[in-house]
Amino acid sequence: MGGAGGNGGLLFGNGGAGGQGGAGGAGGAGGMGSAGVIGNPNGGTGGDGGDGGEGGVGGAGGRGSLLFGQAGAHGGGGVGGDGGTGGQGGTGAADTGSGAGKGGNGGKGGAAGLGGGGAAAGTGGTGGAGGTGGAGTGGVGLQASAGGDGGNGGAGGTGVGGIGGGAGGAGGVGGRGGDGQFMGLDALPEAGGVGGTGGMGGQGTDGGLFGDGGKGGAGGTGGSQANGVGNTATAGKGGAGGTGGTGTGTAAGWGGGGGGGGGAALALELNGGSVSNSTATGGTGGTGGAGTNTAAGGAGGTGAFAGVVAGATGSSITGFTAIGGAGGTGGAAGGLGGAGGYGTASVLGAGTVVGGKATGGAGGTGTNGGTGGAGGYAAIASNGGAVTGGTATGGAGGTGSDGGTGGTGGSANVGINGIDGSETITGGTATGGAGGAGIAGGIGGNGGAASVARENFLNSGGTITDATATGGNGGTGTNGGTGGNGGLAKISTAQATSAASGVALGGSGGNGTGSGLSGGAGGDGIIASTGTGTQATGTAMGGAGGVSGTGATGGDGGAGGAGSVTANFAGDTATGTATGGKGGAGGAGGTGGALGGNGGQGGDGIIISNGAAFNSTAIGGDGGTGGDGGTGAGADGGAGGVGGRALPYSSFGVEDARGGNGGNGGNGSTPGVGGDGHGGAGGMGGQANIDNGENGGNGTNGQPDGTPGTDGPNG
């Protein structure tokens, strides 16, 4: 192996570089920087590993000055000999006061050796893994240092004589960022290092069935990071996956490597104090490597978790921001988008959460037919105590591409675990993430669910006041894709003598596009309080159904979601308005006499109380309009959607119950080959399930010669 580099002088001077290893040997360690302060002495670079059967490990980087100077980077791994694996990059030196060393790059895998005497040639060697970045450290009242970046993975070796190239080496892990607390004192934290890039797969060669290109190496994980009170934690980004190697001749290419995951970020206080105005941002997932010769690209890396956490009873979190990392983009040729990371804020004991935002990371984009990644989950929670204000928003689903499905929107929750019945949630807001769009025939992703909830089925009591839950909208299907469904919205308590109030709005269904493809259904909006003596108060509305696509045949509109306010046991009260969502419109028929699509059915409006239902209103959603018939051959218009029902169940107190109106029928097209088109029948009005309720009106028939709509049943 190579010799060690010399140390710097007592007061000044950099450490010397380590020597290169001999054949197959490890590189020497770099020298240590001076302990003095003159010239900001740096640690020496570790020596490269030597060539040989397997490349040597890179030498250690020297430590920097105790007060100044940068720690030396580790040396790169040596290049593998014929068919040998490249050496692994060395780990970067940890910071000793000013900066951590970068991990060394992995060595390139050796080319395959030629077969002798009829023996088959070998596969190219695997690239060495990148070295891990050195860890940063906290400083007493000072700026902590960043973690070193991970080294890049080495490229795979080239195949020989029809044998495939070697796989690329994995990227190194980013070093942990210096924490925002050191020896019990606050410091300004620093970011984790970036994960190294995966090595490129080796080149395949002509002349054989197995001359595939090598698979790209995986990207390294980003460095994690934690902080102290009132500071910012930023984790490192995951490294990109390596590109797959190209096959030659008749051989196939290989898929790209997956992107590395982002590093996690935490704002943390475990000793009973408070966390105020802290920000935690999870690292972004790396991009998937490209596939070659029609091989699939690698998936994007997963976005990282971000959390703001107080750990003891009596703790509090105020004015925080927690943002999950975004998912990485899928590699070219069908790579999937990575999932977004979680964004959460939580008190582990019976404490308080006031204000602040928790946001899930966005899902990554799929490429060339790949599915978009799911949006990240967002949550604000306390194990007892109180939650006041606060906004949890699920991440948006990633966009699919070229026929790929859009990702599902992330769910969002504002919640509290019931301990003694005194818990309260006041004014919390939860919004589900939107579903991603499907592109070029892809289906739109479903919207994320949203909930505000006091959970625990063992302990009575607890209140939720003026909360807002909004389900995410379904994604649009484009160029022939079906729309995604809207997300559920729910405000709920789970035990006796509890109360829930607020506004719950189901997400809208996404629009469909193209021939015969329907819009998505709207999500339900629910306010529910379960147990004897409970109260459910507020406004619940189902989401609207999506509009359908047009084309050779018009698609049907999506159904509206139900709206419900429910308190199920004796002595309960339900007060509020429950409205079903409107059905989506049917699509028009295409030129040449295609039929119009039918309108979607309206959602039900539901009030349930086994006690009273004071000042309550149940309203069914209107049916959607039928699509017009296509021109050119006398096509019929689509039927209007049926109005939603009004369903109040209470011994007394319901003031109004109105069924939804039926949708208007679509018009028939102008006369052409095949005769006149007929207008669609108007939708039937919705039923009102109460003696003094009002049935919805019937929709208007399309023209000409529409079939009359049917009267709704009496209440």
DSSP string, 238-300: PPPPPPPPPP-TTPPP-PPPPPPPPPPEEEEE-SS-EEES-EEEPPPPPPPPPP-TTPPPPPP
Whether residue 702 contacts residue 637, with contact meaning beta carbons closer than 8 Å, is answered with yes
- Give the whole-angstrom CA distance, residue 211 versus residue 474: 45
The per-residue pLDDT for 509 is 85
Range list of β-strands (E), 554-602 = 563-567, 573-579
pLDDT band (50, 70, 90) for residue 34? low
Helix/strand/coil for 619: strand
pLDDT at 39: 46
Q: Percent of the chain at pLDDT above 90? A: 0
Rounded to an integer, what distance in angstroms lies between the CA atom of residue 439 and that of residue 407?
A: 11
For residues 668-697, average pLDDT: 60
Band of the pLDDT at 715, cuts 50, 70, 90?
Answer: very low
End-to-end CA distance of the chain: 92
562: confidence class by pLDDT, cuts 50, 70, 90: confident
Q: What is the dihedral of CA 669, 670, 672, 678, to 10 degrees?
A: 50
Mean pLDDT, the chain, whole residue set: 69
Q: Which residues contact 51 (CB under 8 A, 6 or more apart)?
A: 23, 24, 78, 79, 80, 81
Task: Measure the CA dihedral 397/399/403/408, to 10°.
Answer: 0
Q: What is the pLDDT of residue 588?
A: 83
- Whether the upstream peptide bond of residue 704 has omega within 30° of 0, thus cis, is yes
Whether 133 and 147 have beta carbons less than 8 Å apart is answered as yes
Highest-scoring range by mean pLDDT, 30-44, 165-179, 458-472, 584-598: 584-598
Question: In sequence order, which residues have a C-beta less than 8 Å from that of residue 489 and are 6 or more positions away?
Answer: 430, 432, 449, 450, 451, 469, 470, 471, 504, 505, 506, 507, 523, 524, 525, 526, 540
Number of H helices, E strands in the chain: 0, 31
Reported as half-sphere exposure (CB side, CA atoms, 13 A), residue 483 has a value of 37
Q: For 27-56, what is the mean pLDDT?
A: 56
Q: Which residue has the higher pLDDT, 598 or 419?
A: 598
Best CA proximity match to 5, nearest among 63, 46, 53: 46
The larger pLDDT score, comparing residue 543 to residue 54, is at 543
Could you tell me which residue, 14 or 639, shows the higher pLDDT? 639
* CA–CA separation, 507 and 494 (whole Å): 23
Least confident of 49-58, 306-315, 430-439: 49-58
Most confident of 208-222, 257-271, 369-383, 528-542: 369-383
Task: Evaluate if residue 206 carries a pLDDT over 80.
Answer: no
Q: How far is it, in rounded angstroms, from Cα 251 to Cα 164?
A: 9
Flag whether pLDDT at 205 surpasses 60.
Answer: no
Bridge partners, residue 575, by sequence: 537
**What gap in Å lies between CA 696 and CA 692, rounded to an integer?**
13
Q: Coil, strand, or helix at residue 351? A: strand
Q: Is 348 exposed, middle or buried (0-12, 13-18, 19+ CB in 10 A)?
A: middle
Cβ-contact 90, 49 below 8 angstroms: no
Tens digit of pLDDT for each residue in 409-421?
Answer: 888 888 777 666 6
Distance CA 364, CA 342 (A): 14
Cβ–Cβ < 8 Å for 513, 553? no
Q: Which residue do the tokens 């090595």 mark?
A: 199
Q: What is the pLDDT confidence band of residue 219, given thresholds at 50, 70 and 90?
A: low
- Contact predicate 633/658, CB 8 Å: no
Three-state secondary structure of 382-427: ECCEEEECCEEECCCCCCCCCCCCCCCCCCEEEEEECCCCCCEEEC
Report d(CA 407, CA 398) in Å as an integer.
Answer: 5
Please give the Cα distance from 683 to 695 (Å, whole number).
13
Amino acid at 589: G
For 444, counting Cβ atoms within 10 Å of its Cβ (0-12 exposed, 13-18 middle, 19+ buried), the class is: buried
Mean pLDDT of the region 85-105: 57
More confident residue, 245 or 710: 245
Closest CA to 4 of 28, 36, 37, 21: 28
Nearest to 573 by CA among 604, 601, 535: 535
Query: Can you give the pLDDT at residue 110?
Result: 59
On the question of pLDDT at 534 being above 70, the answer is yes
Write down how long the chain is: 715
Tokens 């997300």 -> residue = 487
CA distance 537 to 616: 9
Instruction: Tell which residue, 356, 330, 343, 331, has the closest CA to residue 304.
Output: 343
Yes or no: say if 361 and 396 are a contact pair by the CB < 8 Å rule.
no
Residue corresponding to tokens 């079939």: 707
Does 122 have pLDDT greater than 70? Answer: no
Comparing 49-53, 359-363, 531-535, 677-681, the range with the smallest average pLDDT is 49-53
Cβ–Cβ < 8 Å for 233, 264: no
The better pLDDT of the pair 542, 702 is held by 542
CA–CA dist 119, 442 (Å, integer):
49
Cβ(130)–Cβ(145) below 8 Å: no
Cβ neighbours for 675, distance < 8 A, ≥ 6 positions apart: 634
Does 188 score more than 60 pLDDT? no
Spatial contact of 189 and 236, defined as CB atoms under 8 Å apart: no
> What pLDDT does 707 receive?
47
Please check the confidence at residue 5 and state whether its pLDDT lies above 50. Answer: yes
- Does 627 score more than 80 pLDDT? yes
Query: Of 87, 113, 98, which Cα lies nearest the Cα of 42?
Result: 98
Q: Give the rounded percent of residues in the chain with a pLDDT score beyond 70.
A: 48
Higher pLDDT, 628 or 236: 628
Q: Which two tokens stand for residue 52?
A: 């040989």
| Rounded-to-integer distance, Cα 356 and Cα 279, Å | 10
Closest CA to 684 of 627, 620, 630, 605: 620
Q: Looking at residues 547-575, what average pLDDT do you find?
A: 77
Q: Is the pLDDT of residue 249 over 60?
A: no
Which whole-number Å values give the CA distances from 18 to 28, 64, 492, in the listed order?
4, 15, 65
Give me the sign of the Cα torsion angle 438, 441, 442, 446: positive
Residue 429 reports pLDDT greater than 70: yes
